[in-house]
Amino acid sequence: MIERREALAKMFSAKGSKVNTNRGEDYYRSLMQTMTKRLEELEKMPAASKTSIQSVLEAEGLNRRDFMKWASATTAMLMLPSQFTPLIAKAAEVMNRVPVIWLELQDCAGNSEAILRSDAPTIDELILEVISLEFNETLMAAAGHQAEEHLEEAMHTFKGKYLCVVEGSIPLAMEGMYGTIGAYGETFKDHLLRVAADSAAVVAVGTCATFGGVPAAAPNPTGAVGVQDVVRGKPIINIPACPANPANITGTILHFVLTGQVPELDHLNRPKFAFGYRIHDNCERRAHFDAGEFVEEWGDAGAQNNFCLYKMGCKGPMTFNNCSIVRYNEAVNWPIGAGHGCIGCSEPQFWDKYAQERPMADTHFKAPTGGVEKTVDEFGLGLLTAAGIGIGIHALSSVTAGKKEENE
Amino acid sequence: MSKHIIVDPVTRIEGHLRVEAVIDENNMIKDAYASSTMFRGIETILKGRDPRDAGLLAMRICGVCTGTHYQRSIEAVEDAFDVTIPKNARIVRNLIQGALYLHDHVVHFYHLHGLDWVDITAALEADPQKAEEESFNWCKTPYGVSKSELIQIQERLTKFVKQGRLGIFSNAYWGNKSYKLTPEQNLIATAHYLQALDLQRDAAKMMAIFGGKMPHPQSLVVGGVTCVQDIQNPARIAMFKTLLKKFTHFIKTAYMPDLAMAGVKYVDEALDGTGAGLKNYMSYGDFRLDDTGFYNSALLFPAGVVLNGDLSSYIPFDQTKVAEDVTHAWYTGDKPLHPYDGETNPHYTGLEKKEDGYKYLKTGEKYSWIKSPIYDDNRVEVGPLARMVVGVAAGDERITKYVTNFLALLGEKLGLGKPAPTAALFSTVGRTAARAIETELMADVMLEWVDELAANVASGDLSTWTEFDFNKVSKDAKGHGLAEAPRGGLGHWVKIKDGKIENYQAVVPSTWNAAPRDYKDRMGAYEAALIGTKVSNVDQPLEILRTIHSFDPCIACAVHIVDTKGKELAHFKVNTSCSI
């Protein structure tokens, strides 16, 4: 019992479940210098789209105050102190210097749809004004040869400068023939390699593009993999989740604009500002977990009182993402808010490990013993599954634990 | 000398679609082939999994129909387990699904399909004053198109067009002769295009209120829904209702008037039946209106079949008559199979490289990742038009009323002195019109449903889930979830053995519509709809896109695509990507 309690104590006091939001004056001073320099350089560059954020705001009937509100919220999301707000605003102003080419591979268009539904900046700003969205099959007007020509032209004009955003996995089985595009019947793999080659960085959006996602779920009939398994020699940023939260996509692009570099990443190449958080730590139902109050059956009295969903298979304790803070669709809701457990959709192989409506202990997936959650970086695969057991123990013993404490 | 043209990628659809058309010396499409160029194997992935988890995974078939696949997969399992969900759960599912209809149809009309009818660059030449006046011809209280608003819109557009970097608007078929709206009308539609971009987020929010997020909601489970706290909070229901009313306002004062405006301008194409295609229509039926159980309850959209455009003959729907054929699809198999016994064994035979360097579909053999579904040995079309046609044939009062009203309005605007003929609906324009008619109907009926939900919760009924004994019911069971996604009939069939999925097949809207030819060499709906269409400029095959887009292709949905080989007229290949 003592071991168990020590494990629990460790679990909830572990450094890693916190994100370092105060890195000291020196760090931020030097960061600010880097960013200021970068923005000055960008400003000198010719705009990919000549429209400025000012004209967007005017056209939208938004005032400077609305814009600054957005900028300060975004600064906070990127885990930067408030003195960075003017820089974020500036970054949005020079965003039109960074063209984006958006590729859809083995996808369901869910991430494009998510972007369409994003709130800040609004999609028409995204499309028309702020970013130069050079190629997106879902929305672009040109089709067929014109679409391909347009892609070629964008790649040539912005060689080495554009961000290549990828949605969907890459099928490698059968020499890649499970997915082809264009009149030449180019495979998705060749298509991606061609566009990635001249990009500044590749941003994999959604769990299919990052870790293979649905197509890569067992038995992976098409040999699907993520971008990082195909593209070499380019900075790669992974923004998983199914679909990725648009706030995290925008945040990452902004960060790139600000620094010209990829944001700080964890061991899975995910930006820490978004994936440094564990769902469980910021969950609105966390108090019920601690109190040992669980939903035992869909729609029961526990459900009506918003109790913890761990016993209904919630994988919040194993999942790193900022859903519990940012939420979805203009923060109107999120899965746990709607009474369903987290399915761990920002973690590799989550379809095979996490996407069940039962706790880890009851699934066919065998977890190794020992260990508890550690930092997002140290969070190895084995440890990750073991955490399920740790939490399971807690769920079972949470009521008695309080009593023991009194006795001791 | 006939020309063979390829459109790949077909953009402004979800997924990867390829169309090949053969065009004669008069630029008339003689033959067409549609092909999906992407395969993921989701049916295979589902085998062996717990049926209670299938919905979450099956939902990822498509990020656009998203919640539809989720719900149908869950309902297939509920059908297998013989579970009837509580009233609250039924209404919540209807509301999430209904919001998806509103969202999809509006986004489709303005953002995915609108550019086939609306020439954005022509909107620059418009006189805002005249455009404002024009808007009153179509609506008593037009939405957001006053002179001052239009001037602002024009200023924004000017900047983009002048700098020559239109981003995703660039390189479209602007200036093509087959654009028929006046500059003023183009300006009105363009204004609504931009306003709808903003508004569609409200529809997504409506889905998220009860669904948790959108796309890919997460509040449905086998037996009911999980969003107890959202339905027991009056503020949430009120928020839903407010957003719904706001959106309904846009539908009635922007979408419907724009549709009438386009309908009048493009009426010749409607009357001569351009893009009619198969004229066989099928609806799986959907939106249960009472709690008498799965396939007993009254439906908002009746299930049924209409053949050869004959509205006087309504044929009831029977799911046992659905089968899938793989003669022209990249799978092995020798005869059409019912989905319970369906197989998905990939057998890719590739494209053919010709002297011009392009790769062409081998239309004589297999040429698509989409299978060819048939109903009672007929090729059929699905979608909003099919739902309206089947509804009218079945004598559904509500549907008939909305259809009749629209035809009367069109007749009046055309100065016919009588309603426009129903046959005008059997066309590309008609397909687009049916979608709008349905949107208005849906918005109105959803308002009734929200009140029904609020009243039921207020009466003290908080139940959201029906209990079942999993071990008992999952030993040996099979079930189907048949329903209507915004773009057409969507069905999931599941066989369960010892608590695990033994077989899983999905026959979805784009499977029906984008399928290749079948074992009798009969064309799929896209292919058939293209035959006989005249292309004014072969380098800008706008007419092809218009017809394909009128189906709202969701190749993401089309697991198995069709291959055509019928008449020696034209070749179209449609390749889709988000295949099952």
B555 has pLDDT over 80: no
A387 has pLDDT over 50: no
Q: What are the tens digits of pLDDT across the range B300-320?
A: 999 999 999 999 999 999 999
- Which of B35, B60, B355 should one mutate to test binding to chain A, selecting the residue with the greatest count of A CBs within 10 A? B60
Q: Are B269 and B428 in contact (CB under 8 A)?
A: yes
pLDDT at A246: 83
Contacts of A147 in chain B (CB under 8 A): 9, 11, 171
> CA dist B206 to A314, B85, B210, B230, B571, Å?
24, 22, 7, 12, 42
Q: Are A375 and A402 in contact (CB under 8 A)?
A: no
pLDDT at B444: 97
Q: What's the whole-number mean pLDDT along residues B86-97?
A: 97
Rounded distance between C-alpha atoms, residue A231 and residue B420, angstroms: 57
DSSP code string of A222-267: T-EE-GGGT--SS-EEEE-SSSPPHHHHHHHHHHHHHHSSPPPB-T
pLDDT at A377: 37
Rounded distance between C-alpha atoms, residue B560 and residue B344, angstroms: 9
Q: What are the tens digits of pLDDT across the range B220-245?
A: 999 999 999 999 999 999 999 999 99
Q: What are the tens digits of pLDDT across the range A31-59?
A: 888 888 888 887 877 665 555 566 666 65
Q: What's the whole-number mean pLDDT along residues A350-365?
A: 76
pLDDT at A56: 60
A60 has pLDDT over 60: no
Q: Which residue has the higher pLDDT, B166 or B563?
A: B166
Rounded distance between C-alpha atoms, residue A182 and residue B61, angstroms: 22
pLDDT at B248: 97
Interchain proximity A339–B66, CB inside 8 Å: no
User: One of B12, B18, B43, B62 is an active-site residue; which one?
Assistant: B62
Q: Which of B56, B200, B213 sits opposite A116 (nearest CB)?
A: B200
Instruction: Give the DSSP letter of residue A163.
Output: E
Rounded distance between C-alpha atoms, residue B271 and residue B179, angstroms: 17
At A210, the amino acid letter reads T
B580 has pLDDT over 70: no
pLDDT at B536: 82
β-bridge mates for residue B347, sequence order: none
pLDDT at A155: 86
Q: Is A193 on the interface with B (CB under 8 A)?
A: no
The widest CA-to-CA distance across chain A, in whole angstroms, is 77
Q: What's the whole-number mean pLDDT along residues A130-148?
A: 60
pLDDT at A192: 95
Rounded distance between C-alpha atoms, residue B370 and residue B351, angstroms: 15
- Which of A211, A333, A358 should one mutate to test binding to chain B, selecting the residue with the greatest count of B CBs within 10 A? A333
Interchain proximity B205–A213, CB inside 8 Å: no
Q: How confident is the model at residue B560 (pLDDT cuts 50, 70, 90)?
A: very low
Q: Are A93 and A53 in contact (CB under 8 A)?
A: yes
Neighbouring C-beta atoms of residue A98, cutoff 10 Å: 25
Percent of chain B with pLDDT over 70: 91
Interchain proximity B215–A114, CB inside 8 Å: yes
Q: What are the tens digits of pLDDT across the range A108-136?
A: 878 877 776 655 545 444 443 455 555 55
Interchain proximity A142–B210, CB inside 8 Å: no
Percent of chain A with pLDDT over 70: 70
DSSP code string of B425-474: GSSHHHHHHHHHHHHHHHHHHHHHHHHHHHHHHHTT----B----HHHHT
Q: How close A226 comes to chain B (CA, Å)? A: 14
Q: Which of B12, B217, B353 sits opposite A140 (nearest CB)?
A: B12
Q: What's the whole-number mean pLDDT along residues A367-390?
A: 35
β-bridge mates for residue B155, sequence order: none
Q: Is A329 on the interface with B (CB under 8 A)?
A: yes
A65: its two tokens: 């105050």
Q: What's the whole-number mean pLDDT along residues A238-252?
A: 88
Q: Which residue has the higher pLDDT, A84 or A397?
A: A84
Q: How close A270 comes to chain B (CA, Å)? A: 21
Rounded distance between C-alpha atoms, residue B336 and residue B321, angstroms: 11
The residue in chain B having the minimum alpha-carbon distance to the alpha carbon of residue A107 is: B578
Rounded distance between C-alpha atoms, residue B291 and residue B288, angstroms: 8
Full 3-state SS string of B5-27: EEECCCCCCECCEEEEEEECCCC
pLDDT at B437: 97
**Max avg pLDDT among A181-185, B7-11, B518-522:** B518-522
Q: Is A51 on the interface with B (CB under 8 A)?
A: yes
Q: What are the tens digits of pLDDT across the range B181-191?
A: 999 999 999 99
Q: Which of A118, A184, A357 sits opposite B358 (nearest CB)?
A: A184
DSSP code string of A326-392: H-BTTTTB-TTTTT-----TTSTTHHHHT-SSS-GGGSSSPPPSS-----TTT--HHHHHHHHHHHH
The widest CA-to-CA distance across chain B, in whole angstroms, is 73
Q: Which of B9, B165, B171 sits opposite A50 (nearest CB)?
A: B165
Q: What's the whole-number mean pLDDT along residues A273-302?
A: 92
Interchain proximity A139–B111, CB inside 8 Å: yes
Which element (helix H / strand E) includes A23? none
- Exposed/middle/buried for residue B183 (C-beta within 10 Å: 0-12, 13-18, 19+): middle
Q: Which of B9, B170, B205 sits opposite A137 (nearest CB)?
A: B9
Interchain proximity B197–A55, CB inside 8 Å: no
Interchain proximity A338–B7, CB inside 8 Å: no
The residue in chain B having the minimum alpha-carbon distance to the alpha carbon of residue A218 is: B45
Q: What's the whole-number mean pLDDT along residues A214-221?
A: 92
Q: What's the whole-number mean pLDDT along residues B352-377?
A: 86
pLDDT at A212: 95
Q: Which of B435, B103, B552 is nearest to A113 (CA)?
A: B103
Q: Which of B299, B298, B304, B311 is nearest to B284 (CA)?
A: B304
Q: How confident is the model at residue B200 (pLDDT cuts 50, 70, 90)?
A: confident
Rounded distance between C-alpha atoms, residue B148 and residue A166, angstroms: 40
Q: How close B411 comes to chain A (CA, Å)? A: 32
A399 has pLDDT over 50: no
Q: What are the tens digits of pLDDT across the range B384-411?
A: 999 999 999 999 999 999 999 999 999 9
* List of E strands, B302-437: 304-306, 322-325, 352-353, 359-360, 372-375
- Provide the CA B233 distance to its chain's centre, in angstroms: 33
Residue A251 backbone phi and psi in degrees, to 5? -60, -45
Range from A228-232, B29-33, B133-137, B500-504 carrying the lowest mean pLDDT: B29-33
Contacts of A113 in chain B (CB under 8 A): 63-64, 66, 215
pLDDT at A185: 79
User: One of B60, B324, B549, B557 is an active-site residue; which one?
Assistant: B557
Q: What's the whole-number mean pLDDT along residues A129-149?
A: 60
Q: How close A25 comes to chain B (CA, Å)? A: 38
Q: Is B578 a catalytic residue?
A: no
The residue in chain A having the minimum alpha-carbon distance to the alpha carbon of residue B118 is: A141
B533: its two tokens: 């269409």
B251 in helix, strand or coil?
A: helix
pLDDT at A58: 60
Instruction: Give the DSSP letter of residue A129.
Output: I
Which element (helix H / strand E) includes B385? helix B384-393
Torsion of CA A89, A90, A95, A96, to 10 degrees: 120
**A/B interface, count of CB pairs below 8 Å:** 311
Q: How close B418 comes to chain A (CA, Å)? A: 37
Q: What are the tens digits of pLDDT across the range B105-136?
A: 998 898 778 888 888 888 889 999 999 999 99
A373 has pLDDT over 50: no
Whole-number average pLDDT of chain B: 87
Q: How close B252 comes to chain A (CA, Å)? A: 22
B508 has pLDDT over 90: no
A404 has pLDDT over 70: no
Cβ partners under 8 Å of residue A2, min gap 6: none
Whole-number average pLDDT of chain A: 76
Q: What are the tens digits of pLDDT across the range B424-475?
A: 999 999 999 999 999 999 999 999 999 999 999 999 999 999 999 999 999 9
At B1, the amino acid letter reads M
Residue A116 backbone phi and psi in degrees, to 5? -55, -30
A163 has pLDDT over 90: no
pLDDT at B354: 79
pLDDT at B10: 61
User: Do the interacting molecules here have an ipTM over 0.95?
Assistant: no
Instruction: Give the DSSP letter of residue B287.
Output: E
Q: Which of B215, B217, B221 sits opposite A298 (nearest CB)?
A: B221
Q: How close A14 comes to chain B (CA, Å)? A: 30
pLDDT at A357: 86
Interchain proximity B198–A304, CB inside 8 Å: no
Contacts of B66 in chain A (CB under 8 A): 108, 110, 113
- Provide the CA B159 distance to its chain's centre, in angstroms: 34
Q: Is A217 on the interface with B (CB under 8 A)?
A: yes
Q: Which of A314, A242, A357 is nearest to B221 (CA)?
A: A357
Interchain proximity B230–A339, CB inside 8 Å: yes
The residue in chain B having the minimum alpha-carbon distance to the alpha carbon of residue A49 is: B165
Interchain proximity B57–A355, CB inside 8 Å: yes
pLDDT at A283: 94
**Max avg pLDDT among A212-221, B22-31, B560-569:** A212-221
> CA dist A24 to A1, A20, A58, B488, Å?
40, 10, 38, 57
Q: How close B115 comes to chain A (CA, Å)? A: 7
pLDDT at A390: 40
Q: Which of B53, B64, B351 sits opposite A357 (nearest CB)?
A: B53
Contacts of B223 in chain A (CB under 8 A): 298
Q: Is B65 a catalytic residue?
A: yes
